Structure 1
Amino acid sequence: MEHRALGSQGLTVGTQGLGCMGMSAFYGAIDETESLATLDRALELGVTLLDTAESYGPFVNEQLLGKALAGRREAATVATKTGVEITDDGRVAGLNGRPQYIRHALERSLRNLGTDHVDLYYLHRIDPAVAIEESIGALAELVAEGKVRHIGVCEASAATIRRAHAVHSLTAVQSEYSLFERGIEHNGVLDALNELGIGLVAYSPLGRGFLSGAITSPDDFAEDDWRRTDPRFQGENFDRNLDVVREVRRIAADKNVTPSQLALAWVQHQGAIAIPGTKRRRYLEENIAATQVTLTTEDIAAIETAAPHGAVTGDRYAPEMMGTLDG
């Protein structure tokens, strides 16, 4: 796999990363043996950026990565997150961007990951009760101490990104970005990243699996799959969004690639590092093959027609989760 710079602060990663959340939370049944085999295969295929968070489980996903990387920590660029407060007994207690919590969370994450440093440490969400300057100042202290190599923020507005970057240079911003979610192209975030030299890490680059073409009904989800609460997978929204997927499938078929590969190639073409999530080796291998897909001018034009900004209906989270987004 080729590597590219993520931002302008010296971090280089594979052109596609791996979102590890679903291995431990939110997407139905968990199989640790297959998850560990998937992580092994990812490293074999040249994936370097492994993305987790203390809230995934909670803690379980970080511990899984710690197990997978035991004895070979240098093989991966580990990204984890704080800012959603998790009590030591695993309860979610809301947003918390206070410096003392950030430090506590980082020390706990280091133990869970079995490492002495995190390569990329994000604020998972922006706490409106704490000035962003205070939160970033705490991250900057951890960088100075060598416990964190690079910092970033997730789901931040352009204004917040600029304020954060003024305190300490951000290496990356993680935002939802895909053919299903193109808001950052129109709200100033992408412009800010390009101007400031900050890398974009695109989570949910397959529209939470919708763009894979494998989902044909909300009934395809397990009872404990959180997508059952996602507005884009409900009622008329589902039917309308399925029309977009059908167009993506048609373009992919003409190009002799899978819909997932087409969608991931588009994200890569936009200059972002995609972190598609999977917990199975066969999907991992399909996704990584997208790094070898080249899109022509004609392909891009067809994709723009099939999935322009605004084509997808429904909010991307349920109301309580939408309230945690910055701006």
Structure 2
Amino acid sequence: MQKRELGKSGLYVSEIGLGCMSIPNDVGESKNIIDAAIHAGINYFDTADLYDGGRNEELVGHALKGRRQDIILATKAGNKMNQDGTSWTWDASKAHITEAIKKSLLRLGTDYIDLYQLHGGVMEDDVDETIDAFDSLKKEGLIRQYGISSIRPTVIKRFLDNSSAVSVMMQYSLLDRRPEEWFPMIQGAGASVVTRGTIAKGFLTAEGLTRAEQANGFVDYDATELALTVKALGEQSDDLHAAAIAYALHDPTVASALVGASTTEQLLDSVIAYNKKVTDAEIAQLKRAVQLHTYKEHRL
């Protein structure tokens, strides 16, 4: 498993990371998946306080117990759970972020977070206050680095321009190339992209065509376009899963491509796909088979 530096942070993350949102709400099963990931060389694990009301962080913390020094742990804040425990409101205030990290540290069973991320963002946020919260946590040693999870170019650029953020998490795949327009801006700010949705809801796997034919579309593809595109990709690639991961990592702006897994088998499928050789020529061919959509809102 190769590693890449996250921005200019000094943190080196595995080229595929485990997006932990999909792990089952079971201590034993979730630990098995994370054990398999570590055995495969994955050192980057991403969760959020929002996932299952904090339960996901507890599961991740339990599975990583005793191995904290060997991994890069990432979580997120900004969505405050309401009293009903099933809904949340956006809160990017310093007061909330400062309180949220205390709870995350407790659930994760650690005294620091390697990468703390703002879990969204709107232009109405007091960005100076939000960034001050992250900078303060960094000075206190509670976090090593910070970043943002967003697909809004306006929000991303403002955050990067005014902070020392090292990462931007974005939905990105062969079927969702919208972030590519903003890679130069992100790289120019000294940050890296972490991809989510790397295999596009499973459309970019061996089961992709079956899934696509049952879907109502994806991003700007309507249902018909999606099925036709996935069919074409499958015909041009010996292993679409492998090609999808290779494509996500092809641009050096990307530091890590997150994959999700609800079973150990799913995790190992992605590891096997990552280890398959995909040529530049194949990536270029597949690239020609898909559309280059752009974000229609929140443009610079």
TM over 0.5: yes
Amino acid paired to 1:165: L
- Counterpart contact for 2:47–2:75, Cα < 8 Å: yes
1:40-59 aligned within 5 A: 40-59=35-54
Mark the runs of 5 or more structure 2 residues left unpaired by the alignment.
none
- Alignment of 1:214 with 2:207, yes or no, is yes
Matched with 1:319 is none
- Alignment of 1:274 with 2:257, yes or no, is yes
Flag the structure with higher strand content: 2
Matched with 1:11 is 11
Deviation at 1:277, TM superposition (A): 0.8
Match of 1:265 among 236, 239, 246: 246
Amino acid paired to 2:264: R
- Counterpart contact for 2:30–2:63, Cα < 8 Å: no
- Counterpart contact for 2:172–2:179, Cα < 8 Å: yes
- Counterpart contact for 1:97–1:127, Cα < 8 Å: no
CA shift digits 1:158-186 (9 cap, x unpaired): 44334323443111100011011111123
What CA distance in whole angstroms lies between the structure 1 residues aligned with 2:228 and 2:251?
23
CA shift digits 1:254-277 (9 cap, x unpaired): xxxx32111011111123210011
Matched with 1:122 is 117
Deviation at 1:81, TM superposition (A): 0.5
CA RMSD, aligned part only? 2.7
Deviation at 1:219, TM superposition (A): 9.5
What CA distance in whole angstroms lies between the structure 2 residues aligned with 1:113 and 1:163?
30
1:47-126 aligned within 5 A: 47-87=42-82, 90-126=85-121
- Counterpart contact for 2:213–2:227, Cα < 8 Å: no
CA shift digits 1:77-133 (9 cap, x unpaired): 111101111247634322110110111111111111011011101001104432222
Match of 2:278 among 290, 295, 299: 295
Deviation at 1:310, TM superposition (A): 3.3
- Alignment of 1:148 with 2:134, yes or no, is no
Deviation at 1:214, TM superposition (A): 1.4
Q: 3-state DSSP class of the match of 2:242?
A: helix
Q: 3-state DSSP class of the match of 2:265?
A: helix
Amino acid paired to 2:223: F
Aligned length: 297
Mark the runs of 5 or more structure 1 residues left unpaired by the alignment.
25-29, 221-227, 316-321
1:142–1:88 Cα change, 3 Å: farther
Matched with 1:175 is 170
Deviation at 1:33, TM superposition (A): 2.9
Amino acid paired to 2:160: H
Quick one: percent identity of the two aligned structures?
29
1:143–1:126 Cα change, 3 Å: same
- Counterpart contact for 1:126–1:326, Cα < 8 Å: no
What CA distance in whole angstroms lies between the structure 2 residues aligned with 1:233 and 1:163?
25
Q: 3-state DSSP class of the match of 2:292?
A: coil
- Alignment of 1:203 with 2:203, yes or no, is no
Matched with 2:292 is 309
- Counterpart contact for 1:84–1:92, Cα < 8 Å: no
